[in-house]
Structure 1
Amino acid sequence: MSTAIIGVGAIGGTLARLLVDGGQRVVLASHDQSQAASLADKLGERAVAASVKNAIAQADVIVLAVRFDVLKELIADYADLLSGKVVVDPSNALEVDDKGNFTPLLPQGQSAGSVIAGLLPANVHYVKAFGTLPAELLASGANRTPQRAVLFYATDDEQAAAAAERLITAAGFDPVKAGGVRDAGRVEVFGDLHPFGGLDGRLVTTEEAHSAIAASK
């Protein structure tokens, strides 16, 4: 399956590098096409750049690595092209000030995942993934030895789960399902399964991840 990454900032750019290093081919797109083209050149022959429209059209799996407010607009603009695709959502509904402080954009108890899943066409295969670690930990935590670190994901869809597990493994992590879309908030910032939440800055192993999931039920 082919993978497009829309957005080449901290998360999208880091994920692109990890996937290419893991042997995956990626199509990169950004509102600034020159940024996507520059990153594709640096990553080599497994990465190509395209417009947002063309990247979505040609890929089976779409990673929407853009800010929460931009993501809502992007879905409205490209809903027809997203229809039937696997959509991977790394978003966190936050604003970050110049001191690194977070301000939530949604009421307490409402997750970015539940909002985004509700905006997508009904036949999209949706999964929350890759926003479950900050970009720095995503980069430094890949391919740890002797035990890989975990990346959580949340979905109600088997096809989306299979795609998420493939990409997470290729990126150098062990995939662990945290639950369905209703559990997406657990793997977002402030959630009990996020380093900027209940994990208190820690990466976890598969055994620790399953224990953490069970402890909160």
Structure 2
Amino acid sequence: MTTAIVGVGNIGGAVARHLVAGGENVVLAGKSTPRAKELADELGPLAQAASAQDAIAQADTVVLAIWLDAMRELIPQVAPLLAGKVVIDPSNPIAFDAQGQVVRSLPDGQSAGSVAAALLPADAHYVKAFGTLAAEALAANANRTPQPAALFYATDDERAAATAERLIRAAGFDPVKAGGLADAGRIEAPGGDLHQFGFNGEVVTADQARAAIDAHQ
């Protein structure tokens, strides 16, 4: 199985490192081809660099580790290549105001997940995952002991759920399903009660994560 990671910034880079450490094959693509190649060379034989189109074409699963606005541009360009594939979306509806403060880039009640899912081909298998921790926490908390850190995911698709769970475990975390696509906003920032910032920065265990889901249902 091969996972394409489109976007090699803080989130994409952390996911790539964790998956390779867990024995997964990855193909990396970014705005900067040299940056993707540099990261692939650093990660060794399980990683390679390619264009976004080539990475998606050869992968079983695609992680779109890019900003939501970039996703709006990219998905229509590569939509035929995404048909039938599992698409993992870590995006959050984040923007910055004139003072540099984080604000929502979408109206209340609308999630980045609903926007991204609507752009995909009808037969793609969508799941919101890998965006529920800040990049630094995602990078630092893989394979935590004695209890692994939890990563939430949200999907209505069984194949996407199975893939997300496998990759979250390979990355060194405990997968916890927050619900379906309608619940994606709960695991997004700003404002999601199941995002790390909804826990006031705490990185939670699976037991804590499930308790939080139950408390707000």
> 2: distance between equivalents of 1:150 and 1:42?
27
2:215 corresponding residue in structure 1: 215
* Equivalent-residue separation in structure 2 for 1:179 and 1:49 (angstroms): 33
Q: What residue identity is the alignment partner of 2:196?
A: P
Task: Classify the secondary structure of the residue corresponding to 2:20.
Answer: helix
Instruction: Give 1:96 deviation, angstroms.
Output: 3.7
Check 1:142–1:98 CA distance in 2 against 1; reply closer, same or farther (3 A cut): farther
Q: For residues 156-195 of structure 1, what are the structure 2 equivalents within 5 Å?
A: 156-189=156-189, 190-195=191-196
The secondary structure found in structure 2 opposite 1:204 is: coil
State the SS of the aligned residue for 2:208.
Answer: helix
Q: TM-score, normalised by structure 2?
A: 0.97
Distance 1:174 1:60, change over 3 A: same
Instruction: Tell me which residue corresponds to 2:128.
Output: 128
Work out the CA distance in 2 between the residues paired with 1:204 and 1:97. Answer: 29
TM-score scaled by length of structure 1:
0.97
For residue 54 of structure 1, what is the aligned residue in structure 2?
54
Q: Quick check: 1:82 aligned with 2:89?
A: no
**Unaligned 5+ runs, structure 1:** none
Paired positions, count: 216
1:161 is paired with a residue whose SS is helix
Query: Structure 2: which amino acid aligns with 1:209?
Result: A
Return 5+ residue gaps in structure 2 as ranges: none
One-letter amino acid matched to 1:48:
Q
Q: 1:100 offset after TM fit, Å?
A: 5.9
The residue identity in structure 1 corresponding to 2:197 is: F
The alignment yields a C-alpha RMSD, in angstroms, of: 1.2
Quick one: percent identity of the two aligned structures? 62
User: Residue 98 and residue 50 in structure 1: after superposition, are their counterparts in 2 closer, same or farther (change >3 A)?
Assistant: farther
Moved >4 Å (runs of 4+): 97-100
Give the AA of the match of 2:83.
Answer: S
Tell me which residue corresponds to 2:69.
69
Q: Distance in 1 between matches of 2:10 and 2:200?
A: 21
- Distance (whole Å) between structure 2 residues aligned to residue 100 and residue 177 of structure 1: 32
Query: How far apart, CA to CA, are the structure 1 residues paired with 2:178 and 2:99?
Result: 31
